[in-house]
Amino acid sequence: MRLFITLVLMIVGASGMYVMAVVLPAVQAEFAVDRGLASLPYTLTMLGVGVGGIWMGRLADRHGITLPLMLGGACLGGGFVLAAMAPDIWVFMAAHCILIGLLGTSSTFSPLVADTSLWFVRRRGIAVAICASGNYLGGALWPPIVQHFVDAVGWRHTYIGLGLSCTAVMCSLALLMRTRPPAPAAASGARVTASTRPFGLSTRQALLLLCVAGVACCSAMSMPQVHIVAYCGDLGYGPARGAQMLSLMLACGVVSRLVSGAVCDRIGGLRTLLLGSVLQGMSLLLFIPFDSLASLYVISALFGLFQGGIVPAYAIIVREYFPAAEAGQRVGAVIMSTMLGMALGGWMSGGIFDLTGSYHAAFINGVAWNLLNFAIVLALLMRVRRIASAAA
């Protein structure tokens, strides 16, 4: 029951991450700004989610998950309402960055993933995957819903409705999450024994490498997720088709996360992350030569199937290689890096489009970032294998 409530909270909290991709063309037109500036609110939202996730994770470690969820529900709803009333792009941007990102959505993703990892032992991978899949379920559900209401009543009224709904649901469900997780010692049992020298490195070095890998993989991941609606509009297919592709992409991501969770339980988080990195790079390459309507639907589905398990794998890696008592802040730090990557990639793609007039160079940029992620994860896996061989 707790996992089901967590899933619903993740779906609601995910609204702050995915509605901007849908309203981007309307916001760009209303405020009369270029594509790069119109993409900046999304960038700042993701930065806010990442930075806020660390603080919310510490808050959950100390006081339980209910307090950050209550705070997040109030701020997420308030952020949508303020953004709906924004007179210019700057107020709209501030509402997304501070209320929706830093104080709103940040209360759900990192804290709930860390909280879930403390409640399960043998099936930790699939439990975390179910929790994290709420983020993609939200990504599958919100774009078509938001697009419908944007077409019907405009993006401002849609934002007001979102704000009121999110506050009501999150604050109500937060009251059902008051039970604290088991003590770290009771929640131990990871596949790999956590130590003070993960991967044979200092804790700071290991965390830094994971964070750089997170930035790299999500800089690549953000290109289709943030710009697929605008991309379809530029190709003449219309934003509604793009919203459908985004929904399909993230719905397939749910399947990917569940499968990857089961894979994590068998081969560990690090190998699962490496597999996801390879498959994500392959799917990104397909966007470059193919841009027909049918091919974009197929590639969007493949992209979702291939990359959905990447971010949850980081949480499993942290639980396998770092002490359980530090789960909230360590998971928060790594998730922050992935959000930073989403923010950086979303902004870079818009800027590259403004410079070149095409998204082809932006897709190539994404492939380059994906190669960096692959190199880091492969290096960490080789270090683990060398340590295991030496111990044997």
297 pLDDT more than 90: yes
Q: Are 17 and 105 in contact (CB under 8 A)?
A: yes
Residue 200 backbone class (left: φ over 0; alpha: ψ -120 to 50; beta: rest): left
Domain range enclosing 182: 2-391
Write the burial class of residue 4 (CB in 10 Å: 0-12 exposed, 13-18 middle, 19+ buried).
Answer: exposed
DSSP track, 293-356: HHHHHHHHHHHHHHHTTHHHHHHHHHHHHS-GGGHHHHHHHHHHHHHHHHHHHHHHHHHHHHHH
Cα separation, 23 vs 18, whole angstroms = 9
In 14-154, which residue ranges form alpha helices assigned H by DSSP?
Answer: 15-31, 35-63, 66-84, 89-94, 109-117, 124-153
- At 158, list the tokens: 């849609």
HEC string of 29-40 equals HHHCCCHHHHHH
Write down the pLDDT at residue 161.
Answer: 96
When pLDDT is cut at 50, 70 and 90, the band that residue 82 belongs to is very high
Q: Are 346 and 226 in contact (CB under 8 A)?
A: yes
Please report, for the domain that includes residue 299, its CATH number.
1.20.1250.20
Range in 60-64, 296-300, 367-371 the model is least confident about:
60-64
- What is the pTM (predicted TM-score) of this model? 0.75
Buried b (16+ CB within 10 A) or exposed e, 294-330: eebeebbbbbbbbbbbbbbbbbbbbbbbbbbbbbbbb
Number of structural domains (the chain) is 1
Cα separation, 142 vs 22, whole angstroms = 9
When pLDDT is cut at 50, 70 and 90, the band that residue 192 belongs to is low
**What is the maximum span of the chain, computed from C-alpha positions, in angstroms?**
66
189-to-121, 123, 315, 323, 324 alpha-carbon distances in Å = 6, 11, 15, 11, 10
- The pLDDT tens digits for 140-179 are 788 889 989 999 999 999 999 999 999 999 999 999 999 8
Q: What is the mean pLDDT of residues 313-328?
A: 81
Cα separation, 139 vs 125, whole angstroms = 21
Write down the pLDDT at residue 200.
Answer: 87
